[in-house]
C-alpha cells in the first residue's frame, strides 16, 4: 500500500514492470509458503521497497498433500514507487509442486519466469494435479521461461550434515527457495539468518539446517549458469518518508486501533467473539493485550458474543464484537437492541464470500446491504469501511469515537483481503490523536434525570449501574421520549423513530475528498473498502494517458459525507467497482439519484488493475 | 451474591418498588414472585443501585421494570449473555437473571447452559409456567406430554425438559426449587443469593390464563405436606408430617419412598439431606412427581470459584509487570527505520 511519499509523476508509470516486480510463491499447504512470503516481505521492507501482499490459502486446515485444492499461495508486489495492490499478474512464479503450477500458472505474465521444484513432479503428484503429461517436459509452458530445479534434492544435500530425518530435511525446502529469491532480488540475508536463529533458539540443529538451506539457495543463484533465465534484478528503494515502519495486517490494524480508541475514550474494552474465518485473528490479537485493560470473552456463539459486549457497554466498558457474514447475520437482533437502548458498541465485520458459508477464506464486499439495512425495523446504524491494514487502524478509532459520542452501535467493515494482507505502515505518533474521553452521568442533573434525555448530538446519557440516584430500566420495547419508560403510543413511536434517524443522520463525518484527479469532470470511479488499491492504480495509469477520470473513495458508508451528492453530480459519469453485485451503487443511486453504474467482480479474488482500467476505458469510450 | 454489596444502608420493601404499573394478568403467579423478591431484598441487605435485574422476553421477563434497581429487559433467550458481559465489566454488581421456561430453556437454552457451566456469579430465576405466556399460550419445552395449546390442538407429543436436572447436568453448583405463592420462597432466594456462583432457581409459576393450576397437584395448600418435600440441610428427607421419607435403594441405585413409623426415620433408612452431595442431587432432580413428592428448597449447594473471579485473576496475572504502553506496542514486531539514507533494522 502506498507509503511512498508520492507517486512518481503520473506519466512515468507506462510500464509498471521497470520498477515493480510481482512474485508469487505457491506450494502445498504444508510447504510453508505463507512463512516464506512473510519473510520475503520483511526483506522487501528492509530493502526500502514499497509493497503489498496477498496471501491466498485454502479453507481446509490440512488439505490432502499434492491436491489442487490444497495449494497455498502468497503474492507480493514490491517496487521503487507507490505500490497499491498485490499486483495483477506475477512476473515470477515459484511452484513447489505440480498442483501449485497448475492452479497458478494461468495468471503468470507471458514471458514470466517459472521456478519449479522438479523433484516433486513425479507420477503420483502429477496424477493428483490431474496432469496427463509432465508439463515441465511436454513444452506446454513454452510461453513462459522455465527454470526446473530439483529443490527437494538440493535442500536434502544442503542439510545433510545436520542429520535430520527425511521429512524434517524436506521442510527446509522453503528456506532454500527463499534463499534463491533473496539472491534474485539482491537482498541481504542476515536479517533472515537472525530470524531463523531466534525462531529455532531451542533447537539449534533445526536453526542451522534452515540457515544452511537458505545459504544454499542463495549460493545456487550466485553460481548458476548466467546464461539461463535466472538473473539478478535490483529494485531500488521507494522514496519513502523517513520514520519508523512495521508490517501490519488488517487484523492487527483493527486490534490496535480498537485499543487506541479505548485509550482515547478512556474506557476499558470488552471484546466478545466467536471464532470464524477471517475474523478470529482480531480475537487472537486482543486476547494477548490484558495490560491494556482489555477483557476478551470467547462466547458460546455470535449471539452471546454481541450480547455480552452490549452487557459490558451497559456496565460502562467499550463493548466490541467481531465476526464475518454468517455470524453478523446472527447478531442482527442484538444490534437492534443496542440501537433501541442507545448503547455504544463496535461491530467488526471481516467480510468473506457469501451467501451462507460461502467462501470462508476468500474476499468479497457483499455485506454492505447487511451493514446498512440488515436489521428489522427502522434501525439506522453508522457504517465505516477500511481500505487497507493501516487504514483499519484509523477506522477502528473512528468507529469507537462515533459509538461513544453518539451512543450507538457502529459497524466497521473490513474484508478477508485486508485482514490477511500485510503492508508497510508508518507507525503513527499517538500523541497526535485527539482524545475523546467519555463522561458518564454520575449525579442527577439540573431539571431531573431523564434516561432518554439528549445532548446536542442527540445522544442520551451513559449511566453505569452502581450509580446511586440514577436507577432506571432499559430494554428493547419502544421507549417514551425523555423518560425511557415503555410507551406504545403512536405519536411517541413516530417521535422516537425520527429521533433515532436524526441522531445517525447528524453524525459529523469529514467531507468527501477526491483521492486522485479533480472535482468534476468526465468520470468518477467510486470505491470503498479494499478495492482502493486497484482503483487508485488504474485511475493513476489512465490519467497518465490523459484520461479525464478521478478516484473517490468512501470511508463513511453511513451516514455518507454531506458533500458527496453534489460531488458525484459534478461528473458526467460515475462507475462503482465493487466485489459484489452492486451494493454501494444501489445506495448511491437511492441517496442521490445519480446514474452510478456498477463494475462487479465476485470471484473471491481482488480486482486487478487491468480490470478497472478497462472499465474506465469503456466508460469513457 | 456479592460481598461488596452486603454493607448497604437498610431498605424496606417500598424502596424496591417502581412507580410503573404492573402489567401481568390479574391472578398471575408473577405477582407473588415479585412481592417475594421485593420482600427479600431488604433482608438480603444489598443496595438497590448495585443490583441489576436482567431478563429476556416473556411475561416473566417484564420483571425488571417493576424493581427499583438497575434493569435490562433484553432480547428473547439471551439474558445470560448480557449478564456475563455486565458482570465481567463490573464484578461488583449483584445480578439477578429473570427468565421463563421458553426464554431460558428453548431459545436461550444454550446460553443458560453456558452461564451455568462457567459459573458466573448471579442468581437465575426461571419462572416455569410450562407454557409460552406472552405469545398467548403455545406449549413450551417444559409442558407435559399431551398439553393442548393453539399450536398443539391434539396435544403435545414431545417429552418435557426438566429445568433443575438440566441445570445440574450443565454443571450447576446451586440448584433450588420453589413456587410462586410459597412462604418458603424468600428463604430459597436468600440461599441463592448467599451462594457465590451461578445459583439456579426453578420457580413454578401459575399462568392463570393459559395453563391454569397445572401445579395444583403439589402446590395446593390442601394436602401439601403429603406432596411437598422441603429439603433442609442436615435434616432427614421426611414429609407427610414425618410419616414418610426418602431412602436410597442401594441395590437398584435409585431413591424410594418409605414409611416412617413412630418418627423413627433412621430405622426407615431415610437420607439426611446434605446439600453438597452431588450424586443425591442428581437423584433428587430426577424424582418423578406422583410416585414421589415434589422436591423443593435447596437441592444442591456446593460453591466453586466463579468465572468472573478467574477471569479477573488471569487478566491481572497476565498484565503483571507489563506497562500499557500502546506506542511501544505499535512499534513491536518487524520494524525498520527509514532515514534519509534508506531503511535499516
Ligand atoms: C426472537 C424472538 N422470537 C420469538 C419471540 C416471541 N416470544 C416472546 S415471549 C415468547 C415465549 C415466552 O415464553 P416463556 O419464556 O415461557 O415466558 P412466559 O411468557 O411464559 O413468562 C416468545 C416465543 C420473540 N420475542 N423474539
Ligand atoms: S399470560 Fe399467564 S404468565 Fe403471562 S401475565 Fe398472564 S397469567 Fe401471567
Ligand atoms: Mg413460560
For every residue of A496-553, DSSP letters joined together read HHHHHHHHHHT---PPP-EEES-SSEEEEEEEEGGGHHHHHHHHHHHHHTT--EEEEE
C-alpha B101 to ligand 3 mean position (Å): 5
- Beta carbons of A310 and B71 less than 8 Å apart: no
In chain A, what residues touch B113 (CB-CB under 8 Å)? 300
Average pLDDT over residues A25-44: 91
What is the secondary structure of B117-153 as a DSSP string? HHT-SEEEEEEE-SEETTTTSEE-TTSPTT--BTTBT
Shortest CA gap A315–chain B (Å): 5
- Beta carbons of B93 and A466 less than 8 Å apart: yes
Q: Which ligand 2 atom is the nearest neighbour of the CA of B29?
A: 8
pLDDT category of residue A558 using cuts at 50, 70 and 90: very high
> Is the CB–ligand 1 distance for residue B129 below 6 Å?
yes
In chain B, what residues touch A188 (CB-CB under 8 Å)? none
pLDDT for A11: 33
B64 phi/psi in degrees, rounded to 5: -55, -30
CA distance B133 to B127: 11
Q: Which residue of B has its CA nearest to A317?
A: B89
Given a cut of 90, is residue A56 above it in pLDDT?
A: no
A139 phi/psi in degrees, rounded to 5: 80, 5
Eight-state DSSP code of residue A143: T
In chain A, % of residues over pLDDT 70: 96
Shortest CA gap B337–chain A (Å): 4
Mean of pLDDT over chain A: 93
In chain A, what residues touch B82 (CB-CB under 8 Å)? 307-308, 310-311, 314
Q: Could you write out the three-class secondary structure of A431-473?
A: HHCCCCCCCCCCCCCCCCCCCECCCCCCCCCCCCCCCCCCCCE
For residue range B10-41, what is the model confidence (pLDDT) as tens digits? 999 999 999 999 999 999 999 999 999 999 99
Residue A258 vs residues A101, A394, A399, A403, B82: alpha-carbon distances, Å = 40, 9, 9, 12, 21
> Is the CB–ligand 1 distance for residue B105 below 6 Å?
no
State the residue for C-alpha cell 545459504.
A215
C-alpha B107 to ligand 1 mean position (Å): 8
Eight-state DSSP code of residue A199: H
Q: Which of residues 254-283 of A touch B (CB under 8 A)?
A: 256, 259-260, 263, 268, 270, 272
State the residue for C-alpha cell 529469491.
A181
Q: Which ligand 2 atom is the nearest neighbour of the CA of B24?
A: 5
Given a cut of 60, is residue A3 above it in pLDDT?
A: no
H or E segment and range at residue B297: strand B294-301
Q: Does B216 touch chain A (CB under 8 A)?
A: no
In chain B, % of residues over pLDDT 70: 96
Specify the pairing of strand B122-128 against strand B198-204.
Answer: parallel
A93 vs A242: which has the higher pLDDT:
A93
Mutate to test the pocket of ligand 1, among B34, B57, B126, B214 (most ligand atoms within 8 A of CB): B57
CA distance B50 to B46: 7
CB-closest option in B78, B90, B114 to A465? B90
B95 vs B5: which has the higher pLDDT:
B95
Eight-state DSSP code of residue B292: B
pLDDT for A225: 56
A316 vs A186: which has the higher pLDDT:
A316
Nearest CA to ligand 1 atom 26: B76
- Beta carbons of B71 and A475 less than 8 Å apart: yes
Residue A435 vs residues A400, A404, B340: alpha-carbon distances, Å = 11, 12, 32
A168 vs A463: which has the higher pLDDT:
A463
Half-sphere exposure of A590 (CA within 13 A, CB side): 10
CA distance A495 to A394: 34
pLDDT category of residue A12 using cuts at 50, 70 and 90: very low
pLDDT for A18: 52
Average pLDDT over residues A152-178: 93
Q: Does A428 touch chain B (CB under 8 A)?
A: yes
pLDDT for B318: 96
For residue range A392-408, what is the model confidence (pLDDT) as tens digits? 999 999 999 999 999 99
Eight-state DSSP code of residue A367: T
pLDDT category of residue B7 using cuts at 50, 70 and 90: low
For residue range A291-345, what is the model confidence (pLDDT) as tens digits? 999 999 999 999 999 999 999 999 999 999 999 999 999 999 999 999 999 999 9
Global pTM? 0.92
Given a cut of 50, is residue A253 above it in pLDDT?
A: yes
Given a cut of 90, is residue A5 above it in pLDDT?
A: no
Mean of pLDDT over chain B: 95
pLDDT category of residue B9 using cuts at 50, 70 and 90: confident
Given a cut of 80, is residue B142 above it in pLDDT?
A: yes
Average pLDDT over residues A362-387: 97
- The neighbouring-strand residues paired with A279 are none
Nearest to A353 by CA among A602, A58, A577, A581: A602
Residues whose beta carbon lies within 6 Å of some atom of ligand 2:
B 24-25, 28, 30, 59, 129, 133, 207-210
For residue range A491-538, what is the model confidence (pLDDT) as tens digits? 999 999 999 999 999 999 999 999 999 999 999 999 999 999 999 999
Nearest CA to ligand 1 atom 1: B76
How much of chain A is in helix, strand and coil states, percent to nearest 5? 40, 20, 40
pLDDT category of residue A8 using cuts at 50, 70 and 90: very low
pLDDT category of residue A64 using cuts at 50, 70 and 90: confident
This complex has an ipTM of: 0.97
C-alpha B229 to ligand 2 mean position (Å): 27
pLDDT for A9: 36
C-alpha A276 to ligand 2 mean position (Å): 40
C-alpha B210 to ligand 3 mean position (Å): 10
In chain B, what residues touch A272 (CB-CB under 8 Å)? 81, 85
C-alpha B205 to ligand 2 mean position (Å): 9
pLDDT for A2: 42
CB-closest option in A237, A263, A337 to B74? A337
pLDDT for A14: 31
Q: Does A464 touch chain B (CB under 8 A)?
A: yes
Q: Which of A160-164, A368-372, B113-117, B202-206 has the lowest mean pLDDT?
A: A160-164
State the residue for C-alpha cell 448530538.
A457
Eight-state DSSP code of residue B25: P
For residue range A586-600, what is the model confidence (pLDDT) as tens digits? 999 999 999 999 999
Q: Which ligand 2 atom is the nearest neighbour of the CA of B211?
A: 2
CB-neighbour burial class of residue A301 (10 A; exposed 0-12, middle 13-18, buried 19+): middle
CB A479 within 8 A of CB A485: yes
What cell numbers appear for B268 in the block? 426407615
Handedness of CA A487, A491, A493, A495 (dihedral sign): negative
Amino acid at each position: 500500500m502506498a507509503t511512498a511519499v508520492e507517486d512518481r509523476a503520473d506519466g512515468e508509470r507506462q510500464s509498471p514492470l521497470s520498477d515493480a516486480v510481482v512474485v508469487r510463491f505457491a506450494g502445498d499447504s504444508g510447504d510453508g509458503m505463507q512463512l516464506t512470503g512473510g519473510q520475503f516481505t520483511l526483506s522487501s521492507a528492509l530493502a526500502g521497497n514499497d509493497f503489498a501482499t496477498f496471501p491466498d490459502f485454502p479453507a481446509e486446515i490440512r488439505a490432502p498433500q499434492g491436491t489442487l485444492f490444497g495449494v497455498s499461495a502468497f503474492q507480493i508486489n514490491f517496487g521503487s514507487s507507490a505500490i497499491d495492490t498485490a499486483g495483477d499478474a506475477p512476473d515470477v512464479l515459484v511452484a513447489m509442486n505440480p498442483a501449485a503450477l497448475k492452479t497458478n500458472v494461468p495468471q503468470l505474465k507471458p514471458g514470466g519466469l517459472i521456478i519449479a521444484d522438479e523433484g516433486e513432479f513425479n507420477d503420483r503428484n502429477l496424477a493428483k494435479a490431474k496432469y496427463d503429461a509432465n508439463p515441465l517436459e511436454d513444452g506446454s509452458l513454452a510461453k513462459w521461461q522455465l527454470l526446473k530445479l530439483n529443490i527437494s534434492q538440493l535442500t536434502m544435500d544442503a542439510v545433510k550434515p545436520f542429520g535430520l530425518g527425511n521429512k524434517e530435511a524436506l521442510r527446509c525446502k522453503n528456506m532454500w527457495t527463499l534463499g534463491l529469491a533473496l539472491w534474485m532480488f539482491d537482498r541481504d540475508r542476515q536479517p533472515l539468518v537472525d530470524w531463523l536463529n531466534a525462531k529455532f533458539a531451542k533447537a539449534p540443529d533445526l536453526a542451522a539446517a534452515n540457515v544452511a538451506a537458505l545459504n544454499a539457495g542463495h549460493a545456487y543463484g550466485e553460481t548458476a549458469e548466467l546464461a539461463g533465465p535466472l538473473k539478478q534484478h535490483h529494485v531500488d528503494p521507494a522514496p519513502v518518508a523517513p520514520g519508523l515502519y512495521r508490517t501490519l495486517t488488517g487484523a492487527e490494524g483493527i486490534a490496535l486501533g480498537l485499543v487506541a480508541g479505548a485509550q482515547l475514550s478512556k474506557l476499558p474494552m470488552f471484546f466478545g467473539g466467536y471464532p470464524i474465518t477471517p475474523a478470529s485473528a482480531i480475537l487472537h490479537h486482543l486476547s494477548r493485550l490484558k495490560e491494556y485493560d482489555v477483557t476478551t470473552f470467547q462466547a458460546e456463539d455470535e449471539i452471546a458474543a454481541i450480547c455480552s459486549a452490549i452487557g459490558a457497554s451497559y456496565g460502562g466498558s467499550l463493548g466490541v464484537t467481531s465476526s464475518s457474514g454468517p455470524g453478523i447475520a446472527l447478531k442482527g437482533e442484538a444490534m437492534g437492541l443496542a440501537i433501541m437502548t442507545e448503547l455504544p458498541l463496535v461491530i467488526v465485520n471481516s467480510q468473506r464470500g457469501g451467501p451462507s458459508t460461502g467462501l470462508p477464506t476468500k474476499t468479497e464486499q457483499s455485506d454492505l446491504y447487511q451493514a446498512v439495512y440488515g436489521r428489522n425495523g427502522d434501525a439506522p446504524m453508522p457504517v465505516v469501511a477500511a481500505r487497507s491494514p493501516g487504514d483499519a487502524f484509523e477506522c477502528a478509532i473512528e468507529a469507537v469515537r462515533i459509538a461513544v459520542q453518539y451512543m450507538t452501535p457502529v459497524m466497521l467493515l473490513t474484508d478477508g483481503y485486508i485482514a490477511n494482507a500485510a503492508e508497510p505502515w508508518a507507525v503513527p505518533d499517538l500523541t497526535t490523536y485527539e482524545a475523546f474521553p467519555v463522561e458518564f452521568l454520575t449525579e442527577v442533573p439540573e431539571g431531573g434525570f431523564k434516561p432518554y434525555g439528549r445532548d446536542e448530538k442527540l445522544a442520551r446519557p451513559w449511566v453505569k449501574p452502581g450509580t446511586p440516584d440514577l436507577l432506571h430500566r432499559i430494554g428493547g420495547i419502544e421507549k417514551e421520549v425523555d423518560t425511557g419508560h415503555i410507551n406504545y403510543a403512536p405519536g411517541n413511536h413516530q417521535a422516537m423513530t425520527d429521533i433515532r434517524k436524526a441522531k445517525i443522520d447528524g453524525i459529523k463525518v469529514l467531507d468527501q475528498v477526491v483521492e486522485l484527479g479533480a472535482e468534476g469532470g468526465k468520470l468518477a470511479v467510486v470505491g470503498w473498502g479494499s478495492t482502493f488499491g486497484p482503483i487508485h492504480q488504474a485511475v493513476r495509469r489512465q490519467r497518465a494517458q490523459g484520461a479525464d477520470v478521478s478516484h473517490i473513495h468512501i470511508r463513511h458508508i453511513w451516514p455518507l459525507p454531506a458533500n458527496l451528492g453534489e460531488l458525484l453530480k459534478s461528473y458526467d459519469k460515475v462507475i462503482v467497482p465493487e466485489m459484489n453485485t452492486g451494493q454501494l451503487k444501489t445506495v448511491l443511486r437511492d441517496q442521490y439519484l445519480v446514474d452510478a453504474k456498477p463494475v462487479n467482480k465476485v470471484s473471491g479474488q481482488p480486482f486487478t488493475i487491468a480490470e478497472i482500467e478497462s472499465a474506465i476505458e469503456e466508460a469513457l469510450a | 451474591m456479592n460481598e461488596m454489596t452486603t454493607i448497604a444502608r437498610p431498605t424496606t420493601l417500598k424502596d424496591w418498588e417502581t412507580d410503573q404499573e404492573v402489567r401481568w394478568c390479574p391472578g398471575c403467579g408473577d405477582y407473588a414472585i415479585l412481592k417475594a423478591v421485593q420482600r427479600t431484598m431488604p433482608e438480603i441487605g444489598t443496595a438497590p443501585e448495585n443490583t441489576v435485574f436482567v431478563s429476556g422476553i416473556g411475561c416473566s421477563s417484564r420483571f425488571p421494570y417493576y424493581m427499583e434497581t438497575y434493569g435490562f429487559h433484553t432480547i428473547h433467550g439471551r439474558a445470560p449473555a448480557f449478564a456475563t458481559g455486565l458482570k465481567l465489566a463490573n464484578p461488583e454488581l449483584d445480578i439477578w437473571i429473570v427468565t421463563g421456561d421458553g426464554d431460558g430453556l428453548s431459545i436461550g437454552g444454550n446460553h443458560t447452559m453456558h452461564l451455568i457451566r462457567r459459573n458466573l456469579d448471579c442468581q437465575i430465576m426461571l419462572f416455569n409456567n410450562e407454557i409460552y405466556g406472552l405469545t398467548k399460550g403455545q406449549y413450551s419445552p417444559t409442558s407435559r406430554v399431551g398439553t393442548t395449546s393453539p399450536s398443539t390442538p391434539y396435544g403435545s407429543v414431545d417429552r418435557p425438559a426438566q429445568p433443575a436436572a438440566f441445570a445440574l447436568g450443565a454443571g450447576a453448583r446451586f440448584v433450588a426449587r420453589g413456587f410462586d405463592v410459597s412462604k418458603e420462597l424468600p428463604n430459597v432466594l436468600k440461599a441463592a443469593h448467599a451462594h457465590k456462583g451461578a445459583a439456579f432457581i426453578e420457580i413454578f409459576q401459575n399462568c392463570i390464563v393459559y395453563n391454569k393450576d397445572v401445579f395444583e397437584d403439589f402446590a395446593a395448600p390442601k394436602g401439601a405436606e403429603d406432596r411437598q418435600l422441603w429439603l433442609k440441610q442436615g435434616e432427614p428427607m421426611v414429609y407427610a408430617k414425618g410419616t414418610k421419607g426418602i431412602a436410597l435403594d442401594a441395590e437398584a441405585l435409585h431413591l424410594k419412598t418409605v414409611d416412617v413409623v413412630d418418627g423413627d426415620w433412621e430405622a426407615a433408612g431415610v437420607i439426611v439431606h446434605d446439600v453438597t452431595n452431588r450424586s443425591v442431587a442428581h437423584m433428587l432432580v430426577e424424582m418423578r412427581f406422583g410416585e414421589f413428592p415434589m422436591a423443593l428448597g435447596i437441592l444442591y449447594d456446593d460453591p466453586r470459584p466463579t468465572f468472573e473471579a478467574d477471569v479477573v485473576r488471569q487478566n491481572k496475572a497476565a498484565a503483571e509487570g507489563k506497562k500499557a504502553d500502546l506506542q511501544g506496542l505499535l512499534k513491536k514486531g518487524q520494524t525498520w527505520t527509514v532515514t534519509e539514507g534508506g531503511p535499516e533494522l
